């Protein structure tokens, strides 16, 4: 996954160093979106293309021209006068206008709910401030309609780096993105706005990616299917690992119990709960398959760790001295860790690094960890 600046660098390399004309890339992008549109909505005939400024608008004009050539009834809303566009976007707009097709400047002049599909080509990856004014109004109109939406490269109003909504953003049913996967399509609030994500490389040379750093890696669960091998039918609980769940300070017994139950439901052979004395009995009564151990101090935890194969720490852990002492002993262990909840908050106060752990922060916890 790339930040927006890196995707722009990929685009620059393709154009300036690999001599691919920018207008060719724009035509490829428009074709990719149009191909997706007709594949996803084969009965569509009324198409509305909403164009903003910059290259995203140019992609929109390419899509509008292709739809017209395909005998669609096409309406184009241009929120920036076509003659104010520059370079490849202006070329794409002029190619569309050669057919003497009309352009309007507002969705309000159209019966938007009579459309079969709306193409969102308002903003691209360069958006760095909140959407306001007429742009905000048009996005609201799109979202209030009952019409399916396909977004060009990124839903307009979504930050390409963080996935944050900049004032408001188009809620797309499908987003077709190009050249490089933008990290903002998979972070922040993106899941609520992108719909189905489709990546198209536009046939740029593979070697352009070699010198442009990535920020993150998108993990597909299918990559890890081989780690979950079929279980031996003669196996027993001793063959399938022992999870030690550590947490449950005063008032937080439910969190540690739910974590233990989840570990059992997902196939752990044995699950132990290391928790406050006040919680251990209730834990055993309510979930007899969980082995509850009384932890009055961190010294009580040490003998238990020798039988575990992995530790989950944090649910209901709290931030008391008891919590801090337990977490310290857990971090001394060489076992693999899953670190969650208050364990992350304590870690943010006293950072350390190690290799064999997985951190599972929500946005607030991540913010504290990252400073």
> What is the assigned CATH class of domain 4-221?
alpha beta
With a cut of 50, which residues of the chain have pLDDT below it? none
Q: Could you tell me the residue ranges of all domains in the chain?
A: 4-221, 236-369
d(CA 193, CA 70): 28
d(CA 318, CA 314): 8
d(CA 21, CA 6): 19
**DSSP letters of 80-111?**
S-GGG--HHHHHHHHHHHTT---EES-GGGS-
CATH 3.40.1190.20 fits 236-369, yes or no: yes
DSSP annotation of 206 reads G
| Model pLDDT, residue 2 | 96
Digit-coded pLDDT (tens) for 114-162: 999 999 999 999 999 999 999 999 999 999 999 999 999 999 999 999 9
Structure tokens at 33: 């979106």
């Amino acid at each position: 996954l790339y930040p927006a600046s890196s995707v722009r660098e990929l685009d620059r390399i393709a154009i300036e160093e690999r001599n691919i004309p920018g207008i060719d890339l724009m035509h490829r992008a428009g074709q990719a979106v149009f191909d997706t549109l007709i594949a996803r909505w084969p009965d569509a005939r009324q198409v509305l293309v909403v164009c903003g400024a910059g290259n995203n608008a140019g992609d929109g004009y390419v899509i509008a021209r292709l739809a017209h050539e395909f005998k669609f009834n096409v309406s184009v809303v241009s929120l920036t006068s076509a003659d104010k566009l520059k370079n490849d976007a202006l070329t794409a707009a002029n190619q569309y206008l050669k057919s003497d097709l009309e352009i309007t400047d507002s969705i309000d002049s159209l019966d938007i709910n009579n459309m079969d599909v709306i193409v969102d080509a308002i903003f691209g990856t360069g958006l760095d401030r909140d959407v306001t004014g007429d742009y905000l109004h048009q996005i609201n109109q799109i979202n209030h309609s009952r019409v399916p939406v396909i977004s060009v490269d990124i839903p307009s109003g979504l930050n390409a780096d963080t996935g944050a909504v900049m004032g408001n953003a188009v809620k797309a049913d499908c987003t077709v993105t190009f050249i490089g996967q933008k990290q903002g399509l998979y972070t922040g609030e993106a899941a609520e706005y992108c719909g189905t994500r489709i990546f198209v490389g536009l046939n740029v040379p593979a070697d352009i990616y070699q010198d442009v750093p990535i920020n993150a890696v998108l993990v597909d669960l299918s990559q890890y299917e081989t780690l979950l091998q079929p279980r031996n039918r003669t196996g027993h609980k001793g063959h399938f690992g022992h999870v030690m769940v550590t947490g449950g300070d005063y008032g937080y017994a439910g969190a540690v119990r739910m974590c233990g139950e989840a570990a059992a439901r997902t196939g752990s052979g044995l699950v132990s709960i290391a928790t406050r004395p006040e919680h251990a009995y209730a834990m055993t009564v309510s979930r007899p398959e969980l082995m509850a151990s009384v932890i009055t101090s961190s010294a009580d935890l040490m003998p238990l760790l020798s039988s575990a194969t992995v530790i989950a720490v944090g649910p209901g852990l709290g931030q008391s001295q008891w919590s801090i002492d337990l977490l310290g002993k857990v971090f001394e262990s060489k076992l693999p860790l899953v670190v969650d909840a208050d364990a992350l908050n304590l870690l943010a106060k006293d950072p350390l690094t190690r290799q064999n752990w997985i951190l599972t922060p929500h946005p607030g916890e991540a913010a504290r960890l990252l400073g």
